Amino acid sequence: MFSEVKFPVPWGHVAAKAWGPPEGHPVLCLHGWLDNANTFDRLIPLLPRDCQYVAMDFSGHGLSSHRPAGSPYHFLDYVSDVRRVAAALRWRRFTLMGHSMGGSVAGMDTEAWLKSKRLAIDRLLSLEAKQQAPKARSPEAALQRLLEANRHLTAEGGAILLQRGATETPTGLVYNRDMRVRTQSREYLTVEQCVKLLQKIKDRVLIILAQDGLLIPHKLESRNQFVKSLREAFEHTLKEDIQLVEVPGSHFVHLNEPEVVSGIISNFLTAQNTRARL
């Protein structure tokens, strides 16, 4: 015999089926792509009865809620589903049993290279748990906070960003950004992959690097060796129709001192017989 279970999530619920005693060893069962929890219906009755089995429907599958309109289904989101269900069950240590895609999801959460992705999920769950209202600040404080977080910004540039990046409320300015954006994890590519992708662009390319920006080898810390290697690869291996130009200024040179780059970009855009790709 099994029981139906629903776990609340911000966009609805994750549905699941549970077998076995609550005090039994926990086993979380993950189905394959386009399948659902019923994929384990015939297997679980044949397994040890002193375990508690919970077979979940991934978001968008079975009886689970669909993600909000406009939200794609990233593979990492299924790992997030697993974490949410485990948290709701208050399981700290448990067995993962997966079929096909479910096996891949189970394997992802144990790979060392996914540390950054697990951290992103932790941050997202922590942010949702706090449910803090956006903080309101005076115009001066809002600008100061923005400048503190972006050392390349000038006060004038920061004020321009705030015009579109904050909303005035009765208690002060509130940043418009969705706080969930801060929890995102980055999909890292190797230097070779980055160069190959750029080389596949079948048109002329203009890359402008700021001397005090983010791709300056002599200013990079050891943890940014990737960026240093990428810069060197750009200079040594890119084909001739990719133009690399270095200009004085910071990461926000286009905003702080637009005249420094406007001429370069204008020339690129007006060059004859080109389809510009910036």
Residue 165's Cβ-side half-sphere holds a number of Cα atoms within 13 Å equal to: 13
| Phi, then psi, of 54 in degrees rounded to 5 | -125, 115
Cα(109)–Cα(74) distance, integer angstroms: 14
Of 3, 65, 80, 100, the active-site residue reads 100
Q: How many CB atoms lie within 10 A of CB 54?
A: 24
Question: Terminal CA-to-CA distance of the chain, rounded, Å?
Answer: 61
The owner of tokens 């029981």 is 3
Q: Whose CA is closest to 142, among 110, 100, 171?
A: 171
C-alpha pair distances (Å), 68 with each of 10, 36, 59, 60, 71: 10, 20, 10, 10, 6
100 is catalytic: yes
β-pairing, 242-250 vs 205-212, is parallel
Task: Report, as residue numbers or ranges, the catalytic residues.
Answer: 100
